[in-house]
Structure 1
Amino acid sequence: MAGRREVIAGIAGLAAAGCTPHALRAPASRAPLGLTHLTVARELAGDYLGTLRRVRALGYTRFGFPLGAQSPRHIAQRDPVEVAALCQQAGLLVGTVRLAYTDDYQRQMQIARSIGATIVAQSAADVFFTGPTPGETTRAAFEEWLLRLETMARAAQDEGVRLVYHNHDWDHVPLDGKTPLELIAERFAPGEVDFEIDLGWAAVAGVGPVALLENLGPRVLSLHLKDLDRGCAGDDCRRFVAPGEGDLGYSQLIPRIRRITDAIGYVEVDDPVDGMQAAASAARNLTSN
């Protein structure tokens, strides 16, 4: 895909370059709200359908889940076709689904399309976990990995779904002058690879979420909403908490986000003590804004 078009100049110019159905506009006052599988993984393991029904009762309308095994943390992994059927029973729409860390991309994209997903996310570049220090890689290794991302993009286009890359804190750290997000944005045109922006991980990297969303513009197709407890310390500490319970100022942040993008937000609280409690708190805090 690189070499078939002029390289996009950089993150700051992306809003002007992107021409997608997700144009910048003020969304409705009550935006749709999604929830990720990871937030309620323990509850799903005990009662998958019952948990989804409780999630729907909290006001969530979409549920995001993986298409296959991603890590041992996904303790409630099920066949995605089965999960989609359970979502339907619970009154939830299939939201952004996540690629498994296997290379059968065409098959996964076919499954995503068959269950009604329109956005498929690549959760991370695994080159950040193959070196001696987790979360670190080289520019050369990352650019080599981009060839795999290109294969994913072709598979997504073949099946008529949108591929997005999900950021973590390391995606905002320059590799010989440019961050991984910048390298992706330059190599791929809008509509080939776009973005799912996790506000919590951006905050860990010291990146302002509003500026990040403004710079990426309509290439942001999905959001992960989590809050950050910067005072967290100790082995039992959980630095990611439900939106509205940390330091990011979601009461002021959400109205600003809604003026920038209509991308659907998915509450994701990593490893909460009580997933349903976290989901309930997030729904209250986010729908009151």
Structure 2
Amino acid sequence: MAHLTVARELAVDYGGTLQRVRTLGYTHFGFPLGAQSPRHEPPADPVQVAEWCRQAGLAVGTVRLSHSADYPRQMQLASSIGAGIVAQSAADVFFTGEIPGRTTRSAFEGWMDRLEIMAHAAREEGLRLVYHNHAWDHVALDGLTPLELIADRFAPGEVDFEIDMGWAAIAGVDPLALVGQLGSRVLALHLKDVDRSCVTGNCRQFVAPGAGDLDYPGLLAQLHRLTDAIGYIEVDDPDDGLLAAATGAATFLRATLA
């Protein structure tokens, strides 16, 4: 289970929400180490969250790095609370240009120098670093997409990937083909469904697996053949996070994805 799915409920009762998530069959919980952007509220203390996870019977899952540059401190914190995988959710160069979600190849290649610093800090703490895709990561920058640029520059084990099935689908990419191409470099999955009928701001484009247009029962069987990456149900800002979690659990409860 990913933090974003039940963020509203966590804000009211963090520990109690994790207890309810566990009763739905989830085994891992992924959460942020710091604020993901200036517009987001600071998250709960990661040390306390890890303790609530233990009390609920949940393993500490993939933890998300903030965009601050104190990478050694963040990696030390991640290791100390029992995380094994740390994720960089996006390259902030996509938000510093004139058009949000767009950048240049030179700017992205410059940002990868920072990704190299993250990778070194992660290795020092025995952690695996993954990059999480969004729609813009599938748009070519002078011939290669951001994901391809990362895969070319870094060796497996230096920087790997957390593939978001919903964002890949929105970008027009076959998520199964993407997972197959990246192979063992896919260490984690974000499992969200897509409502393609949502074309205005008055609906939810991303929904729980089983509630949208992607054939998750069929996808699941094929994912099991392609990867042993751990999967996290993630639904962006649902009206009822526990209902979204229950919908996802009903789809995946009999699977090995967490």
Change (3 A) 1:58 1:78: same
In 2, Cα distance between equivalents of 1:59 and 1:71: 31
In 2, Cα distance between equivalents of 1:74 and 1:128: 17
The answer as to whether partners of 2:62 and 2:86 remain within 8 angstroms in 1 is yes
The C-alpha deviation readout for 1:106-161, integer Å capped at 9, x for no partner, is: 00000111111000000000000001111100000000000000000000000000
The answer as to whether partners of 1:39 and 1:279 remain within 8 angstroms in 2 is yes
The C-alpha deviation readout for 1:41-87, integer Å capped at 9, x for no partner, is: 00000000000000000000000000111136755711111110111
In 2, Cα distance between equivalents of 1:276 and 1:76: 22
The answer to whether residue 132 in structure 2 is matched with residue 166 in structure 1 is: yes
- The one-letter amino acid of 2:180's match is E
The answer to whether residue 248 in structure 2 is matched with residue 282 in structure 1 is: yes
**Post-superposition shift, 1:287?**
2.3
Match of 1:261 in 2: 227
The answer to whether residue 212 in structure 2 is matched with residue 246 in structure 1 is: yes
Which consecutive unaligned segments of at least 5 residues does structure 1 have?
Answer: 1-34
In 2, Cα distance between equivalents of 1:71 and 1:272: 19
Match of 2:103 in 1: 137
Match of 1:5 in 2: none
**Post-superposition shift, 1:210?**
1.1
Deviant stretches of 4+, over 3 Å: 71-76
The answer as to whether partners of 2:206 and 2:236 remain within 8 angstroms in 1 is yes
Following superposition of structure 1 onto structure 2, how do residues 66-77 of structure 1 map, counting pairs within 5 Å?
66-71=32-37, 75=41, 77=43
The answer to whether residue 85 in structure 2 is matched with residue 91 in structure 1 is: no
**If the length of structure 2 is used for normalisation, what is the TM-score?**
0.97
In 1, Cα distance between equivalents of 2:116 and 2:41: 30
Match of 1:202 in 2: 168
In 1, Cα distance between equivalents of 2:107 and 2:20: 43
Q: 1:56 aligns with which of 15, 22, 28?
A: 22
The answer as to whether partners of 1:42 and 1:75 remain within 8 angstroms in 2 is no
Q: 1:219 aligns with which of 185, 189, 192?
A: 185
Match of 2:75 in 1: 109
**If the length of structure 1 is used for normalisation, what is the TM-score?**
0.86
Bigger mean CA offset, 35-44 vs 63-72: 63-72
| Partner SS, residue 32 of structure 2 | coil
| Partner SS, residue 189 of structure 1 | coil
- The one-letter amino acid of 2:160's match is D
- The one-letter amino acid of 1:262's match is D
Match of 1:25 in 2: none
The answer as to whether partners of 2:135 and 2:167 remain within 8 angstroms in 1 is yes
The answer to whether residue 150 in structure 2 is matched with residue 184 in structure 1 is: yes
The answer as to whether partners of 1:164 and 1:194 remain within 8 angstroms in 2 is yes
In 2, Cα distance between equivalents of 1:273 and 1:73: 20
Change (3 A) 1:88 1:261: same
| Partner SS, residue 65 of structure 1 | strand
Identity across matched positions, percent? 69
In 2, Cα distance between equivalents of 1:61 and 1:171: 29
| Partner SS, residue 225 of structure 2 | helix
In 2, Cα distance between equivalents of 1:38 and 1:237: 17
The answer as to whether partners of 2:196 and 2:213 remain within 8 angstroms in 1 is yes
Aligned pair count reads 255
In 2, Cα distance between equivalents of 1:50 and 1:247: 32
The answer as to whether partners of 1:45 and 1:76 remain within 8 angstroms in 2 is no
In 1, Cα distance between equivalents of 2:55 and 2:254: 27
The answer to whether residue 9 in structure 2 is matched with residue 46 in structure 1 is: no
Which consecutive unaligned segments of at least 5 residues does structure 2 have?
Answer: none
| Partner SS, residue 152 of structure 2 | helix
- The one-letter amino acid of 1:238's match is R
Question: Which has the higher relative contact order, 1 or 2, with Cα contacts under 8 A spaced 6 or more apart?
Answer: 1
